[in-house]
Amino acid sequence: MSEKYESLFRLDGRKAVVIGAGSGIGREAALALSAHGAHVVFADLNGDAAAASAALSEVSTVAVVDVNDASSVSALADAHRDADVLVHTPAINVRKQITDYSLEEFDRVIRLNLRSTFHVLQLFGRSMCTRRVGSIVTMSSIRAATVEPGQGVYAATKSGLESLVRTAAAEFGPSNVRVNAIRPGVVETPLTAQLKNNPQWYSAYAAKPALQRWAQASEMAGAVVFLASDASTYVTGSTLAVDGGWTAVDGRYTPPL
């Protein structure tokens, strides 16, 4: 019995496709999956960044994908129909109050955060359901649960993503395919670089979580490995908060928009 538990998080012999593997959470997730034995496809819009990340792994493949381009996503899904794990991380945010948002900005955020997630989940879900095996992991945000001024559209995409995850879990479950989301708090990534460079904003966000600090991208990797591995075979349709306790103790912060 102990041998069974010793290999609970191992991913030997499995293929994992990580979209957004060129930087940030995607990069760390891909490296962690590789370290646990998976053959990882490092997929990113920036092929050079994906290759640089993949060079740090044991067994890997590099792929260029534009998740806003339906044909590009289709090509990636077709090329990796044998994927056992899919991790999808790309997102964008335009921080403005609702009354200041343009429709073009609204469409841009919705297109990347929600539409692309739907398309990726749809295509990889089809292949996994046909093979009757698979785990899909998407990236939500604390903004799906608690908002602040200037985060309306971004929050809507992440709430929508979590609804998609629950529905996909219900639909894919009979085919033995699991679908889950991770809900990070404030993480030091390229997406949050603007906030990190603002001392007032950085310190205010550091004070909000119970752990009183920002997260590193590497601190999301363990949750990804958990949801990808046999350690979570009875977990689906869930959102795992990896937010340092932010949503447990949340207070309001009005940022300088």
Tens digit of each residue's pLDDT (9 = 90 or more) over 8-38: 999 999 999 999 999 999 999 999 999 999 9
| Count of CA atoms in the C-beta half-sphere (13 A) of 134 | 29
> Quick one: which of 19, 227, 232 has its CA closest to 121?
19
> Is the pLDDT score of 254 beyond 80?
no
- Residue 93's region, left for phi above 0, alpha for psi from -120 to 50, else beta, is beta
> Is the pLDDT score of 151 beyond 80?
yes
> Is the pLDDT score of 1 beyond 60?
no
Q: What is the mean pLDDT of residues 55-70?
A: 95
Considering only residues 198 and 132, tell me which one the structure prediction assigns the higher pLDDT.
132
Residue 109 is which amino acid? Answer: V
Quote the pLDDT of residue 58: 81
Three-state DSSP class for 85? Answer: strand
> Is the pLDDT score of 257 beyond 70?
no
Q: Does residue 203 contact residue 36 with C-beta atoms inside 8 Å?
A: no
Q: Does residue 25 contact residue 217 with C-beta atoms inside 8 Å?
A: yes
Distance (Å, whole) CA 104 – CA 157? 15
pLDDT 10s digits, 197-239: 888 888 888 888 999 999 999 999 999 999 999 999 999 999 9
Which residues are catalytic, by number? 154
| Lowest mean pLDDT, pick from 40-44, 77-81, 230-234, 247-251 | 247-251
H/E run at residue 40: strand 39-44
Residue 202: both structure tokens together: 């950085």
CATH number of 2-242: 3.40.50.720
The beta-carbon contacts of 96-99 under 8 Å, at least 24 apart in sequence, are 96/150, 96/257, 97/149, 97/150, 97/152, 97/257, 98/152, 98/153
Quote the pLDDT of residue 252: 59
> Is the pLDDT score of 251 beyond 70?
no
Quote the pLDDT of residue 200: 87
**Residue-range domain boundaries for the chain:** 2-242
Considering only residues 210 and 115, tell me which one the structure prediction assigns the higher pLDDT.
115
Distance (Å, whole) CA 52 – CA 21? 10
Quote the pLDDT of residue 194: 77
> Quick one: which of 36, 44, 89 has its CA closest to 62?
44
Residue-wise DSSP of 108-165: HHHIIIIIHHHHHHHHHHHHHHHHT-EEEEEE--GGGT---TT-HHHHHHHHHHHHHH
Q: What is the mean pLDDT of residues 176-195?
A: 89
Distance (Å, whole) CA 59 – CA 226? 20
Residue 255: both structure tokens together: 């940022």
- Residue 216's region, left for phi above 0, alpha for psi from -120 to 50, else beta, is beta
pTM of the model: 0.93
Quote the pLDDT of residue 255: 66
% of residues, the chain, pLDDT over 90: 82
Question: pLDDT tier at 190 (50, 70, 90 boundaries)?
Answer: confident
Residue 146: both structure tokens together: 């608690």
